[in-house]
């Protein structure tokens, strides 16, 4: 009888184990099927891009079109908040510093807090309004407070992006309303998300705010994953018609931490669902061991200076005041032009260190030995940067020449000035390519060394 009881217990144990095994297999199969369906839908969406990064180690756990240029929409406010937190930490402002609203700030399109021209709020109220309501008027008021003007603050934003390693981002305004010259990538947004976590632990908890009270209003956070997905502690949503639905999420389960980015969602619900799937799939794969800092701290220019950044590798279009519905095709055209040299290869094993890599050290080559030009050579050329500073452009030319000497051995590097909006910029280019194909192939090789470029015919 005792033997029979032991046998029955063993049999019951085996049955429970087998059922648990089947349940696990079924759950894994369903999850795999769900991810496959989402990937299939995403493949049909030309605006889709996503990335998941282990916030402890920097390893890229998932990547899809992560280096492709996309419109940031209100994810732009992450950089506005970064500069605000930096000013708080540096003592230039306090949480109670008044933020005045100019006529320009008050006139921004919704969503907005609704402060009238001549009114003001505190810096902390402005922070809450950006994180919850994504208030465009508050973003503009902060920009004018910290930078003096929208244009100067946008240059500060772009300069900070470069200092953080966001090589494929340009900001033209502080809120993300439509501007055909403003763009980013999913990888760059992940970089910014990690930087906000790492550089401002004292202010980062603002991103977990579910709602805040302003006057008689109780303003809820647009981020619907807060409180719904365990471990989600921020960061930011974004939407305009030109971009689709964007989301950057930070997740911390106490041991593992990830930052995920989804861009170009067809709806807020589908975007949130995809992010939830990515979290479920990749959070368990993240490392519980914390490494060192992933994003170098960037002090950048002071708030009283006009930032001078190495500008993007194409000439930024003049901002348009037209409704974003009219700009959908323009944004698509910009993406097509800047990516026609061929997409960068994305692999699941690519590490975020590539995106965070420090700029190549400036070579010892004497800058006056490098060529400059007032008239460009004809034929196909490759452009790697443009800058309002001739010294910076020349330094970029020298660094690229040394870093890619084997690739550009038969090319001739030069800088050439051009005028835009009354400002002189300096292109950094390489000539000497016999055909469009030769220029494209060379640019592809440069991209594999993380040198941003594009080919153009003079």
Of 59, 63, 74, 138, the catalytic one is: 74
2 is catalytic: no
- The structure tokens listed for 26 are 């079924």
Sign of the C-alpha dihedral, residues 187, 171, 160, 75? negative
Taking the C-alpha atoms of residue 158 and residue 309, their distance in angstroms, rounded to an integer, is: 6
CA distance 233 to 216: 26
Active site residue 74: yes
SS3 content of the chain, % helix, strand, coil (to 5): 40, 20, 40
Q: Are 85 and 62 in contact (CB under 8 A)?
A: no
Task: Record the tokens describing residue 65, joined without a space.
Answer: 């079109």
Helical ranges in 202-356 per DSSP H: 268-282, 324-339, 353-356
From 426, 430, 409, select the one nearest 418 (Cα to Cα): 426
The residue annotated as part of the active site, out of 129, 134, 138, 387, is 134
Q: Which two tokens stand for residue 445?
A: 């090789």
**Collapsed DSSP state (helix, strand, coil) of residue 269:** helix
Token code pair at residue 153: 């603050």
* 3-class SS of residue 239: strand
Three-state secondary-structure class, residue 233: strand
User: Cα separation of 202 and 198, whole Å?
Assistant: 10
The answer to whether the CB of 449 falls within 8 A of the CB of 404 is yes
Helix axes 77-90, 136-147, angle to 10 degrees: 40
Cross-strand bridge partners of residue 415: 372, 428
Residue 371 known to bind ligand: no
Q: How far apart are CA 91 and CA 258, in angstroms?
A: 30
Which residue from 261, 257, 301, 271 is spatially nearest to 153, judged by alpha carbons?
301
Q: Determine the longest span between alpha carbons in the chain, in angstroms.
A: 101
H helices within 92-149, ranges in order?
Answer: 103-106, 123-132, 136-147
- Annotated binding site for substrate, which residues? 236
Catalytic residues: 74, 77, 134
- Annotated binding site, which residues? 236
């Amino acid at each position: 009888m005792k033997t029979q009881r032991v046998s029955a217990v063993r049999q019951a144990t085996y049955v429970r184990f087998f059922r648990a095994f089947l349940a696990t297999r079924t759950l894994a199969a369903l999850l795999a099927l769900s991810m496959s369906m989402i990937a299939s839908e995403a493949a049909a969406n030309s605006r889709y891009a996503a990335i998941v990064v282990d916030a402890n180690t920097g390893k890229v756990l998932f990547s899809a079109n992560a280096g492709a240029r996309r419109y940031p929409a209100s994810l732009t406010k992450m950089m506005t908040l970064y500069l605000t937190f930096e000013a708080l930490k540096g003592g230039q402002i306090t949480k109670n510093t008044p933020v005045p609203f100019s006529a320009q700030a008050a006139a921004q399109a919704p969503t907005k807090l609704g402060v009238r021209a001549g009114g003001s709020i505190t810096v902390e109220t402005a922070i809450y309004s950006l994180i919850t309501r994504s208030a465009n008027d508050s973003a503009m008021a902060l920009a004018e407070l910290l930078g003096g003007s929208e244009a100067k603050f946008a240059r500060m934003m772009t300069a900070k992006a470069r200092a953080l390693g966001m090589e494929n981002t340009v900001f033209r305004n502080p809120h993300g309303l439509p501007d055909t010259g403003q763009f980013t990538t999913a990888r760059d947004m992940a970089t910014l998300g990690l930087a906000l976590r790492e550089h401002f632990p004292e202010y980062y908890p603002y991103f977990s705010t579910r709602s805040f009270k302003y006057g008689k209003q109780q303003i809820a956070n647009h981020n619907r994953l807060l409180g719904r997905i365990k471990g989600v502690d921020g960061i930011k949503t974004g939407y305009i018609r030109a971009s689709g639905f964007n989301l950057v999420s930070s997740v911390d389960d106490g041991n593992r931490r990830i930052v995920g980015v989804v861009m170009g969602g067809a709806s807020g619900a589908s975007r949130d669902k995809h992010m939830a799937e990515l979290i479920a799939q990749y959070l368990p794969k993240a490392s519980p061991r914390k490494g060192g800092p992933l994003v170098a701290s960037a002090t950048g220019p002071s708030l009283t200076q006009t930032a001078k950044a190495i500008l993007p590798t194409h000439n930024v279009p003049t901002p348009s005041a037209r409704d974003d519905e009219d700009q959908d095709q323009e944004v698509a055209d910009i993406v097509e032009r800047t990516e026609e040299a061929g997409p960068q290869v994305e692999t699941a094993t690519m590490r975020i260190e590539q995106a965070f890599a420090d700029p190549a050290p400036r070579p010892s080559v004497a800058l006056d030995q490098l060529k400059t030009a007032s008239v460009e050579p004809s034929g196909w050329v490759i452009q790697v940067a443009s800058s309002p500073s001739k010294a910076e452009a020349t330094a970029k030319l020298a660094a690229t020449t040394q870093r890619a000497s084997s690739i550009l051995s038969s090319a001739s590097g030069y800088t050439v000035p051009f005028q835009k909006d009354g400002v002189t910029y300096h292109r950094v280019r390489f000539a000497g390519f016999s055909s469009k194909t030769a220029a494209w192939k060379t640019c592809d090789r440069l991209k594999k060394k993380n040198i941003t470029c594009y080919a153009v015919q003079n």
